[in-house]
Amino acid sequence: MSVTYSSIGWNRQKKIYDLAIVAGVALYLGLFILVGLYWHPFVTIETLLIRALGTCAFLLLHVVLVIGPLCRLSPRFLPLLYNRRHLGVATFLVALAHGTFSVVQFHALGDVNPLVSVLAGNTRYSSLSDFPFQTLGLAALVILFLMAATSHDFWLANLGASAWKRLHMMVYVAYGLLVAHVTLGALQAETSPLLTGAMGLGIAIVITLHLSAAWRERPNDRPAESQASDDQFIDVCSASEIAEKRARIITLAGERVAVFRYDGRVSAISNVCQHQNGPLGEGKIIDGCVTCPWHGFQYLPATGASPPPFIERVPTFRVRIVGDRVQVDPRPNAAGTYVEPAIISSG
- Establish how many alpha carbons lie within 13 A of residue 158's alpha carbon, considering only the half-sphere containing its beta carbon: 7
Smallest CA-to-CA distance from 332 within 222, 237, 252 is with 252
Are 88 and 148 contacting, i.e. CB atoms less than 8 angstroms apart? yes
How confident is residue 148, by pLDDT bands cut at 50, 70 and 90? very high
> What does the alpha-carbon distance between residue 322 and residue 342 come to, in Å, rounded to a whole number?
10
> How confident is the model at residue 296, as a pLDDT?
83
> What does the alpha-carbon distance between residue 83 and residue 13 come to, in Å, rounded to a whole number?
9
Lowest mean pLDDT among 75-79, 245-249, 337-341: 75-79
- The pLDDT of residue 143 is above 70: yes
> What does the alpha-carbon distance between residue 69 and residue 317 come to, in Å, rounded to a whole number?
28
**Burial of 9 from C-beta contacts in 10 A (0-12 / 13-18 / 19+):** exposed
Q: How confident is the model over 210-219, as a mean pLDDT?
A: 85
160 dihedral zone (left: phi>0; alpha: psi -120 to 50; beta): left
> How confident is the model at residue 5, as a pLDDT?
46
Percent of the chain with pLDDT over 90: 51
Q: How confident is the model over 15-42, as a mean pLDDT?
A: 92
How confident is residue 218, by pLDDT bands cut at 50, 70 and 90? confident
DSSP state of 326: E
- The pLDDT of residue 180 is above 90: yes
Q: How confident is the model over 317-345, as a mean pLDDT?
A: 92
DSSP string, 245-310: TEEEEEEETTEEEEEEEETTEEEEEESB-TTT--BGGGSEEETTEEE-TTT--EE-TTT-BPPTT-
DSSP string, 85-100: HHHHHHHHHHHHHHHH
For the chain, domains (ranges, CATH) are 12-219 (1.20.120), 234-343 (2.102.10.10)
What does the pLDDT look like over 240-267, one tens digit per residue? 899 999 999 998 878 889 999 999 999 9
- The pLDDT of residue 337 is above 90: yes
Lowest mean pLDDT among 183-187, 218-222, 225-229, 330-334: 225-229
Q: Euclidean distance between the first and final Cα of the chain, in Å?
A: 40
- The pLDDT of residue 8 is above 90: no
Of residues 332 and 109, which shows the higher confidence score? 332
Give me the helix-helix angle, 45-73 and 193-217, nearest 10°. Answer: 20
How confident is residue 145, by pLDDT bands cut at 50, 70 and 90? very high
How confident is residue 216, by pLDDT bands cut at 50, 70 and 90? confident
> How confident is the model at residue 10, as a pLDDT?
64
Mean pLDDT, the chain, whole residue set? 87
Q: How confident is the model over 117-125, as a mean pLDDT?
A: 81
How confident is residue 319, by pLDDT bands cut at 50, 70 and 90? very high
Lowest mean pLDDT among 43-52, 74-83, 209-218, 295-304: 74-83
- The pLDDT of residue 65 is above 50: yes
Q: How confident is the model over 329-343, as a mean pLDDT?
A: 93
